[in-house]
Chain A
Amino acid sequence: MTAISRMALAIWDFVVGDDWRVALGVAVAIGATALVADTSVAAWWVLPVAVVALLGDSLRRTVRR
């Protein structure tokens, strides 16, 4: 493994952590907020709903392991 790939792996581990689905979910939720904000519907509720869902899902998967 080269120094660059080791560094990339370390950065991935540092930022994303041990549950990549949470990071992906956060990215999708922020994108969804931007899409809803472009309409006439209020968009502030998207992230709180996503956070509760992501946290619950991550906890559920951890407990099942």
Chain B
Amino acid sequence: MSGTELGLAVAVFLACAVEAVEALTIVLAVGATRSWSSALSGVAAAAVALAVIVLALGSALTSLPIGVLRVAVGGLLLVFGLQWLRKAILRASGLKALHNEAAIFAEEAEAARAATLEQGAFDGYSFAIAFKGVLLEGLEVAFIVLTFGANQHRVAVAAVAAGAAVAVVALAGTAARAPLARVPENSLKFAVGVMLTSFGMFWGGEGAGASWPGGDGALLVIIPALAAVALTAVALLRRAGAQSPRADAEVLPHPPGAVEGVNA
């Protein structure tokens, strides 16, 4: 496995793990409060829908010429990566609330209890919420798997990395029987944002005709350099927030362990 393929697998694994943790919280909330069988039916239906999307788009993407594919994939990864990175920087600097699975679980469970429960074996609410949660969280992962995999002609490697992440999260969720609140989700999102943006720059540049100094080895400079830029942005925003607590932005207090947003 080359360094680029390893980077691909790591990026897909991390991105998929983060989304799987979020989907797990939703499924656990409706399953535990209403109907496990209906919630799991929703999960299965969403998995089938995602598989169809991956198969259909995967074959279309891999048939594109490599130059066009790299520009398209690089551009999309850059747009996605910059969104992830911006939100991760804002969370780490205290300007955006940290993702809290325990709070989301409580909110989803409360909504599930409030919804009318009809008598019968099938609970449409549990099915719909689980289906929507898994499909929406999974779409982003499917997109990342497709773009990374198609560009390197390694859709199988990307799919295995994604499947492994789902399996790990599902096993951990089954063992814990609770939302995985201890997963350093914000740190993972920060890392995924850096990886997506770095690969987007690399492939977008190559597709547009640029030659990177050192070839694939340039990624070994791009990734840490972008991480350093992002960490510097966090430090600057934290300092600005500390100096002007009455600024227009909503500066959120750091809960215990908030530094984990980036550093742990």
Contacts and interface: CB of A to CB of B under 8 A. Distances in A.
Decide whether A and B assemble into one complex: yes
Interface of A: 14-19, 22-23, 26-27, 29-31, 33-34, 36-38, 42-44, 46-48, 51-52, 54-56, 58-59, 62-65
A52 B212 CA distance: 18
B79 A37 contact: no
A43 B8 CA distance: 24
A22 B82 contact: yes
Nearest to B233: A59
Contact of B205 (A22, A47, A54, A58): A47
A19 B90 CA distance: 14
Contacts of A15: 76, 79
A63 B79 contact: no
Contacts of A55: 82, 85-86, 89, 229-230, 233
Interface residues of B, number: 40
Given A27-B75, A33-B205, A44 B82 contact: no
B72 to A, nearest CB: 10
B201 A51 contact: yes
A59 B229 CA distance: 13
A43 B99 CA distance: 38
Contact of B229 (A18, A23, A52, A63): A52
Contacts of B83: 17-19, 22
A38 B28 CA distance: 54
Contacts of B200: 26
A26 B85 CA distance: 15
A44 B211 contact: yes
Interface of B: 71, 74-76, 78-80, 82-83, 85-86, 89-90, 95, 139-140, 197, 200-201, 204-205, 207-213, 218, 222, 225-226, 229-230, 233, 237, 240, 247-249
Interface hub of A16, A46, A63 (most chain B Cβ within 10 A): A63
30 contacts: A14-B140, A15-B76, A16-B79, A17-B80, A19-B83, A26-B78, A26-B200, A29-B204, A30-B74, A31-B208, A33-B204, A33-B208, A34-B208, A42-B210, A43-B209, A44-B210, A44-B212, A44-B218, A46-B210, A47-B210, A48-B222, A51-B82, A51-B201, A55-B85, A55-B86, A55-B89, A58-B82, A59-B90, A63-B237, A63-B249
Given A17-B79, A30-B75, A33-B208, 4 more contacts: A15-B76, A43-B211, A47-B205, A51-B197
Contacts of B75: 26-27, 30
A6 to B, nearest CB: 15
Contacts of A14: 139-140
A29 to B, nearest CB: 8
